[in-house]
Each structure stands twice: as C-alpha cells, then as structure tokens.
Structure 1
Amino acid sequence: MSLKQQVTDDMKTAMREKDTSRLSTIRLLLAAMKQKEVDERVELTDTDIVAIIDKMLKQRRDSITQYEAANRTDLADQERLEMTILMGYMPAQLSEAEVAAAVDAVIAEHGKTPAAMGKIMAALKLQLAGKTDLAAVSAMVKAKMA
C-alpha cells in the first residue's frame, strides 16, 4: 500500500472513531500533499510524501521552541501531539552507527576535500532522507572532514 493510500485510510478511520486531533493532523498532511500535487502537476511518490512530512516535522519543532519560550505549554503540547502522529508515517529511523557507516562510505567515495562537501551532502540526502536528521548528518560530515 502506498503512503498516500495509508494516510487516506487513516483519515477515514479517524473520522469513524471521532478522533478529532488525529483527524485534523491528517487533514493538514493531506492538504500539503494536494497542494504540492496541484502546484507541480505531478503524482506524489512515497519519497515526496516523506519530504513533505519531514518539512512539517521541522515546522512543529520550530513552533515548540517558540511556544516554550513564550510559556505556552498548551500550544507546545498540541504541536508535540501532531509530531507524534506525523512520525507514524516516517520510515524507520537509522541508528547512529548506521548513519556513521553511510557517512564514511560516501566520504570514501568522494574524498575528504572541502570542495567535495556539497557532493557528499547531496549523496547522503538522497540516501538518508526521512531516515535521520540531516542537520545531525551535516555536523557529522563536517567533523569527519576536519
């Protein structure tokens, strides 16, 4: 079953169960998916959907930081709930050892020159998108390049 079909089925289930928080989060995800389909006039693949979810998760993390700074724990808790629901659609996260092995392999392939940093990150982004935090991967690459 495609990820798009799974999200649609989960929306129907949430409607039947009257799970309003889950339903609203899934509707936000479906709206973002539909918007991308309409804007780019393409049929989304699972990889495209994972990228959309990853972007939504990043937005939630940023919102949580801002809400906590403003002492709005009620809103921060709502964002955390949405993050939990969205994380259910992400592929299994890789361990730090698996990420380190992938980074080492790509660095060995492209070399340790500063000019290769862009190529290394591009290759890792294709390989690891949605499976780990790419900001942490970037920091790991920089540390290994030094």
Structure 2
Amino acid sequence: MLNRVILIGRLTKDPELRYTPAGVAVAQFTLAVDRPFSRDQGEREADFIPIVTWRQLAETCANYLRKGRLAAVEGRMQVRNYENNEGRRVYVTEVVADNVRFLESPNREGGGGGQGRDEYSGGAGGGSRNSGSKSSGNNQDPFADDGRPIDISDDDLPF
C-alpha cells in the first residue's frame, strides 16, 4: 500500500501552534493549491488542503511560515472522525506532513518568488534543517564562486 502526498501552494493564514496535554507541539495550516485548469472566464480555481505537522517540525513551521508564503509539503493523507457537541459524527481529511520546504526567502514580503529554499523534516529524532541557499553562520552565497576550481587535496575526499 502507498499513501504519499506532495503539494505546492500558498498558506491561507499563519500556522496555528498548539500543544497536547503531554506537551507535544502540533501546528495546523491550510495550503491553497491551484488546480491545473481554468474556468470559462479564465479564472483559476484552487483547493484548500488542511495540513498538520507535529513536534519540532510544527514549531519550525509556526516560527517561519506566514500567510501567503509558498511552501511544498510532503506527507500522508489521513481521515479521522469525532463526535461534535450536537452528537453528530464529523469526518476530517487532512495531510499529516513529515517534510515541509519553504520555497520563498523569509525576508521577502508579499507573494514574490523568493530564491531561498529551506527544507524542514520531522521524524523520530526531531526536526532537521537542510538549507539549499544559506550557509550557517553567515549570509554569504556558498555558490558565489561557481565555475572556479576548488582547492582540495585528495586526502580530504571520502572516496
């Protein structure tokens, strides 16, 4: 069996961070994902997909994602149900994310296409960050000398 979802869209509002009674962080947000076709008048339709993240990934999303930001989400589809206050059974379909990629730089405001790409993953060992455009400790571009030879000895190579 396979249950894997990959979505790219914009947040409809800031993530909502909560904690379970056991102290586990959970963040919820909605991703607006454009449909691949337009209406008769040329208007694009979108689907609004609820996303849930847990633990360190939830805290990271709550700290860095904002309304309107472009994000990629990987996870699994989950359907759960509960009984509401009126005694009716309510079914909820959502994506439980285990990987969220921030596709716009956090210092760019508005809906422009930023160049920064950060990936945050949840897992048994907590969240981890893999930055695709930033070096840790400073804001210099690690690929600024692209095309120039790199001075490295054979002893430094792992193979």
Q: What is the TM-score of this pair, normalised by structure 1?
A: 0.24
More helix by percentage: 1
**Structure (1 or 2) with the larger CA radius of gyration:** 2
